[in-house]
Chains A and B, each alone.
Chain A
């Protein structure tokens, strides 16, 4: 450690306490800083560079071609579709997750027997691997043997093949994503609900406010900041969703459920077109940056501290 190198009996130590303190600080944060520089900062710079090349494993090329990849992407109908579906997927999912997460939190905050059990199983969707959740639902939605089409048939007398229709596949993907991640929202909202002072409700009860009025006048205003913060966080985070889409629809039918992340996977890891994949990566990062910045600005305005 630094302490061992500092000579004790010297009139003018070669290193002053403030400097030594700073060195110790640097030493402690060094592992993580090196990790992040090596596996995040450098790769981003490298992706930015690759996006300006025609780097491709199969054609063996790797020359700078300027903005050619971006120009090609601008004319790419499929990419526009991917951007559009990414936004639909993320916004649709987040909106439903907010509503359902709040409803589940309210349910888990009510008093009933077996509440501890209900709170435990609420963590299951959060805990299981996304790829397993994707396959489980792909199996449940199977055209021939799936349980969900069978139930729909029993109730509505209609045989559906959810993953073979573009619209139903998109809807299924959003609903499965809501199933997977709304419980996480519910956990956070439940903690928020528990932090609302009990006497506020008591006072409202004395004043004769109904359950709904109490929710509207007390609960909701108290947790709106939490709702917005979580919504922002989920939007940024889910822009990068990959496993669930890869497992449930893999972009199909056709290209109906291709998102930017899936497109990067296809270009980069299936077709080995590193240049194109990197350009799409830059588009995704730009999207994340714009949404994230809007979120940060909002946070600053509300003076929410990180």
Chain B
């Protein structure tokens, strides 16, 4: 908020506000430049995209998106990405919530070992299990299916989600649940009516983070998807990248698809900035 006040005292913090604003501007330029350059390339005619020297502002056109749709079934891939990311988010949250509740509230031997094992398993590189996972999916007849991708991705995202949720549930006072137990409430009731609403903020945070992670995932669809059945936008962009054009690579099409992939997650990140920050910092402060 801007409040009228007398001339600020000249302390080192306020001595050079223009210097601070110069730094902010530099920061903004560096952060935004790939976004700007892809947006500009996506909205320019190919002649303008490949101009030498580069043009910073060119007359906008949407024709690249039309040409992109001619080359790949972009709507189908977009739908696949949405289904994959949404399903992954829901499965991850459901499985993680139940486990986190059990670990946080059931004072049984082995629960800390389980939590530790889950946390350690987050360090497992995705790529080292890719060949056995291919065989697992093949045996389950889940290759080239969104269900198979969801199955794998949920498992990958769940441990971190459990960790964050356990930390959150442990901060919630136990008295309300205790009172419900004394009143004779059964466990499903307690979980559904009391714990779930109280954990809602943390669940919302992890929903955003997990959606972004699943949306951004490349390796699993790249390895397990072979048709429009289950290919996502991240696979589509690697395929457009392989295509040739008179100027080498079709950067106007790659940019159009890149922008299409960025916009949902950028909007999500900006509107839920606070929630994301809370989630990302939970791990750092135990």
Contacts and interface: CB of A to CB of B under 8 A. Distances in A.
A138 to B, nearest CB: 8
A124 B32 contact: yes
B128 A281 contact: yes
Interface string B126-156: 1111111101100000000000000110111
Given A47-B128, A184-B280, A40 B121 contact: yes
B188 interface: yes
Interface in A134-181: 135-137, 139-140, 142, 144-147, 150, 179
Contacts of B154: 35
Interface in B92-133: 94-96, 98-99, 101-103, 106, 108, 111, 114-116, 118-121, 123-133
A82 interface: no
B186 A140 contact: no
B43 interface: no
B265 to A, nearest CB: 4
B13 A211 contact: yes
B173 interface: no
A145 to B, nearest CB: 5
Contacts of A292: 120, 123
Contacts of A146: 54
Contact of B129 (A47, A123, A129, A210): A47
Interface string A109-142: 0111110001111111111111111011101101
A84 interface: no
Contacts of B31: 121-122, 124-125, 179, 183
Interface residues of A, number: 97
Given A132-B261, A145-B251, A281 B127 contact: yes
Contact of A240 (B13, B30, B126, B262): B126
A87 B69 CA distance: 41
A28 B106 CA distance: 10
A42 B136 contact: yes
A240 B281 contact: no
B95 A128 contact: no
